[in-house]
Structure 1
Amino acid sequence: MRKTGGMTRATLTISSKNYSSWSLRGWLLCKMSGIDFEEKLVEINDDQRQELLLLSPSVLVPRLTDGEVTVWDTLAIAEYLNETKPKAGLLPKDKVARAHCRSVSGEMHSGFYNLRSALPMNLKARHEKFKIFSGARPDVERIRAIWTECLDTYGGPFLFGEKPTVADAMYAPVCTRFRTYAVELEPALQNYCETVFAWALMKEWTEGALAEPDEIIELEVEF
């Protein structure tokens, strides 16, 4: 952390903007909350690669440090920011919608391993055609079902209505994966992805990703 004008800024430790979907999620949550923070990049090198892939306690990304508080799990970051910045609207106001948002966010957080392995995030890449192996197809179908239910229930353009929430931060990297690997979507779901891509915060992140050196090692496993 460092002080600016007498105030101590929080620090968000992240990794590659092109490859690290968890870094993207944590960064979006911080930006959405309005917390004053600076980015600290953990560069990927051979010594850190295994630690990052295994989520070693010595290298945890994303990691938010705010005063005496250190939070490194993405959902824990979301809950911490929701407590400290309640007016930011990270979670829906309605109790039922809030529970729904937490549920689909938790499902993204703990599941979809086959999707992560088969379609790693790579914002610089585009495939006109890409064969998804059979093990990942149920994950794709489940995400389609989640998005359809949310958009039908809350009216879009984001998953829980007019404003982005924790759920959109959690699923934004999936939108990029579907674009990278040419996953076909129903019009309503494609429109949701386009809403995410047009989101000012996603544009800002993507600019940073495209500016990264090409020699950064592509990660084979989600972290």
Structure 2
Amino acid sequence: LLLDEPLGALDLKLRRQMQDELKAIQKRVGTAFVHVTHDQEEAMALADHCVVMNDGRIEDEGAPERVYARPKTRFSATFMGESTILAGKAGETQDGRVEVATRLGPISLPGTAPAGAAVALAIRPEHLILAGAKGDVALGTAKVSDVVFQGSFKRVLATSAQDPTLQFIAKAPAPATVQAGDTVAVSCNAQDIILLAD
């Protein structure tokens, strides 16, 4: 059954109810559904197998959890949810770890890349740590430009003090006291950084 943007015109609450209904129908009838959507949350909620296309080409495919957590391309990383993208240059790979030179300093993370290759590091908003606890990769400080309350979390935009062209997108817990104008330390854990060819 081909479903082409079937929930596009619905409000959020009804869309979520219809997602549950479509999943129930698919399980009941056992027919394969090809569901076309530009809504990434909808795709991840409904899909057993997710395919990300760009200009008629398959960029990435697999289980929704893998496509979100470990996208294969930069396009897939930015299309399937938000990411902070940090450009870098790969150094030597030793013991399954590569050191990447970035404008924020060297970052060592699990993975491999050809020495000298241009790479991109993608960090999902839920993996950025603002103030408080610290991850094992320090990303400097940033000035908070906007905080949007979204119910279960706050979406925080902050500009790096070390690289003014870099904007961090973070999810802070709903009770967090962060506000526009604050300067915060930013960090993350190395295993949460996605290494991509640039």
TM-score (norm: length of structure 1): 0.29
Greater strand content: 2
TM-score (norm: length of structure 2): 0.31
Greater helix content: 1
| Bigger-Rg structure (1/2) | 2
